[in-house]
Amino acid sequence: MITNERDTRRERLLLVANEMMTAARTAPKGKGIDIIEVTMLTGKDIIELSKAMLEYSSKSGLKFVMRDAANILHAEAIVLIGTKQQIHNLNCGYCGFQTCVEKQQFPTIPCSLNSVDVGIAIGSACSVATDHRVDSRVMFSVGRVAQELDLMPGCSNIYGIPISASSKNPFFDRISTSPAK
């Protein structure tokens, strides 16, 4: 049997995306509490997200979101990683408040431990992509619009990691079609 790499590329990329999700789940947590959420988008869901990103770019005036909206259309899958908001009762002050009770008055400000946990999960997921030589890029814009669309209910600090396998990584050396803002 002869198998052409192009014929199995999508299937292999989805296997890597699933491994990335596992790596994000099993990544170390600052206090050992699992508040990370991980989701994968493919096919028409990527197209819908791209359309929503174009609308968000127009509404927000952030031109790089428009560039990223076009860019994610080169992805076979997008791994979304976010966090549920939870205060850890450490009174560490890393969020800028002296106590967790004081911070609770401002629920839209994330707990620093939650933010760090998301970063560790993103790094773990990206390391899997790297180990498999899969093209990837961490995108704030993807996660921000995913949060607007409530694709991960109850989550914040969402980031997207589009993946692809091509002769040239489509997520780097991107040229913006409009002045940056």
Q: Residue 178: what pLDDT? A: 56
Residue 5: inside a domain: no
Q: Residue 98: what pLDDT? A: 92
Q: What CATH number corresponds to the domain at position 152? A: 3.40.109.10
Residue 24: inside a domain: no
Encode the chain in three state secondary structure. CCCCHHHHHHHHHHHHHHHHHHHHHHCCCCCCCCCEEEEEEEHHHHHHHHHHHHHHHHHHCCHHHHHHHHHHHHCCEEEEEEEECCCCCCCCCCCCCCCHHHHCCCCCCCCHHHHHHHHHHHHHHHHHHHHCCCEECCEHHHHHHHHHCCCCCCEEEEEEEEEECCCCCCCCCCCCCCCCC
Residue 128: inside a domain: yes
Q: Residue 5: what pLDDT? A: 85
Q: Residue 177: what pLDDT? A: 58
Residue 158: inside a domain: yes
Going residue by residue through the chain, which has 181 residues, state the pLDDT in tens, using 9 for 90 and above: 998 988 889 999 999 999 999 999 999 988 888 899 999 999 999 999 999 999 999 999 999 999 999 999 999 999 999 998 888 888 999 989 999 899 888 888 888 889 999 999 999 999 999 999 999 999 999 999 999 999 999 998 999 999 999 888 888 766 655 555 5
Residue 171: inside a domain: no
Q: Domain span at residue 39? A: 35-164
Residue 134: inside a domain: yes
Residue 177: inside a domain: no
Number of domains in the chain: 1
Residue 54: inside a domain: yes
